[in-house]
Each structure stands twice: as C-alpha cells, then as structure tokens.
Amino acid sequence: MTTTTPSDVRPDPPHSPDAGDGSLAEFGYPQELHRSLGRYASFAAGFSFISVLTTVFQFFAFGYAFGGPVFFWAWPAVLAGQLLVAACFAELAARYPISGAIYQWSTRLSTPSFGWFAGWIMVIGQIVVVAAAALALQTVLPAIWPGFQLIGTDPAPTSADGAANAALLGVVLLALTTLVNLLDNRVMSVVNRIGVTAEIIGAVLIVVLLLTHSERTPGITFHTTGAAQSGLFGALLVGSFTAAYVMIGFDSAGEMSEETHRPRRTAPRTILTALGAAGLLGG
C-alpha cells in the first residue's frame, strides 16, 4: 500500500468569483485556469488577431488591382456577412465559455468525431496564419531599417537572401511570442493590450490624416477603373478576398473565455466589438 505525499497532490484552483458565471463544473471538469483577463484584454485578444492595419496594408493593392476604387464596397458586404458569423460565435461563447472554442463547440453541438475534425482544421489554419504573419516581417522591417536584413543584401522576399532572412525573422518572432505565452497569461495580456492600444491610436491617426489630406471625394469609390478585364461583379468577388482575409480571428476572445472574468457576458460582447472596431477602422 502506498501513500500520497502532500507534494504529489494537485492543489485545488483558487476560488473564482465567476463560479456562478462560466463555471466549468457543468462541463465535467474543475476550474484550473486563472481568470485574470478583463473586458479590454478580451477585446484585445480578438482585435489583435484581426490586426486590421497589417492586413489592410498588405492586401489593399490586391483588391485595388482587380476592382479599382469600387472594390471598397466589397468591404461592408463582407463585414455584414462576418457579423452574422460573429453573432453565432458570440452565442456559442456565451453557452460554452471554455477553452478550445471551435473544437468544444463542434463536439457539443455535433459529435466528438466532428469536433476532432474541426479542431484539427482550426490548428492547421492557426499554423498557416501565424507562419504567414511571421514571414511577412520581411516586407516591412528591412524597409524600416536595413539592419533587419541579417542575411545577404537583397531584401526582396522572392530572392534567395530575402527568403532566408524572412525565415530567420519569422523564427525569432515565433520564439519571442512563444516565450511570452509560456511565461504567464497576464504577461501576454499586458503585451497584447499595449500593442492593440498602439494599433488603434495609429489607425485613428491615419484615418484623420487621410480625411484631412484627401485629394478626391468619397465619390471615387463608385469608379470602376481597373475592373474592366474581369467585369465588375468578378472584380468585386476577387476584391472581397481582401476583406475576408482581414476580418477573421475575432473568435479569439471566445477561445480565451476560460481565463476571462464573467465570460458569459464578456466574451460575446468583445467578439462583436473586436469585429465592429476592425470593420470601422479598416473601412
């Protein structure tokens, strides 16, 4: 017969004031993660994943090349559709405020097999998106300061030097972000909130500068120049990929609901707020 020493006993998680609002007991396991994220931190999780400034600047030329100025109208169309998706996610986040989000939701709404499938698709999508964002540093950092070109001299991402340097910068970024996530969710939250606040301030300043220094009226968005080759409808469809690529990731607030105060109220609201803010600033 063996005995269990106190050091082998897994301590009970601290009592959470949210026990009646997002308690995990009804899902079959006790609360273990610390609920340290407030409303702004939850909003920042969704907004930072959307990263409206980064993606708009990366893909504006793509939409403009196919549709011309009129491609702007693909933005509100995609935003309206994504708001419907976000409303569904908000409802699910309120009903199932637990980590895993899409995996957990799919499992409980359908079957464990379907949840397994949805979970793996989500993991693959996250890997592709995060890797793409990391590699995109090559298009930005060497242009800001040549010192970021650590390998070779040609910063073009399509060159051998540029591709190798992009991989190096990407690995460094992934290592830093992994370290931040391993330290503590409060450290991650602080870093995320600072970054999101800076992005919002920057986006607002850019909007103000564009409005005060514009050379054309908003009527330019009705011009179809550039859309002739594929036709207006085809150009708008292609241009909509820009908006569709930007306005994703708002479900991150739901994925972190197990670490959020009052998740049944906070997560649904921040999912919608993050998408709404990104849609407004991006537009």
Q: What is the pLDDT of residue 269?
A: 92
Does the residue 9 lie in any domain? no
**pLDDT digits 0-9 by tens, 109-119:** 989 999 999 99
Q: Which of the four pLDDT bands, split at 50, 70 and 90, describes residue 1?
A: very low
Does the residue 15 lie in any domain? no
Does the residue 23 lie in any domain? no
Q: Which of the four pLDDT bands, split at 50, 70 and 90, describes residue 164?
A: very high
Measured between alpha carbons, how far is 70 from 78 in angstroms, rounded to an integer?
Answer: 14
Q: Which of the four pLDDT bands, split at 50, 70 and 90, describes residue 147?
A: very high
Q: What is the pLDDT of residue 7?
A: 40
Q: What is the pLDDT of residue 160?
A: 93
| Alpha helix positions (H), the chain | 39-50, 52-67, 74-95, 102-109, 112-135, 141-144, 160-183, 185-212, 232-246, 252-255, 263-282
Does the residue 27 lie in any domain? no
Does the residue 62 lie in any domain? yes
Token readout for 229 is 């080759």
Does the residue 16 lie in any domain? no
Q: What is the pLDDT of residue 228?
A: 54
| pLDDT value at 229 more than 70 | no
Query: Looking at the 3D structure of the chain, how many domains does it have?
Result: 1
| pLDDT value at 91 more than 60 | yes
| pLDDT value at 159 more than 60 | yes
Does the residue 119 lie in any domain? yes
Mean pLDDT (whole number) for 183-193:
82
| 252-255 CB contacts, 8 Å cutoff, 24+ apart | 252/45, 252/46, 252/48, 252/49, 253/42, 253/43, 253/45, 253/46, 253/93, 254/89, 254/90, 254/92, 254/93, 254/97, 254/101, 255/45, 255/99, 255/100, 255/101, 255/102
What's the chain's average pLDDT?
82
**pLDDT digits 0-9 by tens, 4-48:** 444 433 343 444 444 445 566 777 767 766 777 788 888 888 888
| pLDDT value at 106 more than 80 | yes
**pLDDT digits 0-9 by tens, 238-249:** 888 888 888 888
Does the residue 120 lie in any domain? yes
* Boundaries of domain holding 41: 33-282
pTM over 0.85: no
Range with lowest mean pLDDT among 66-80, 105-119, 212-226: 212-226
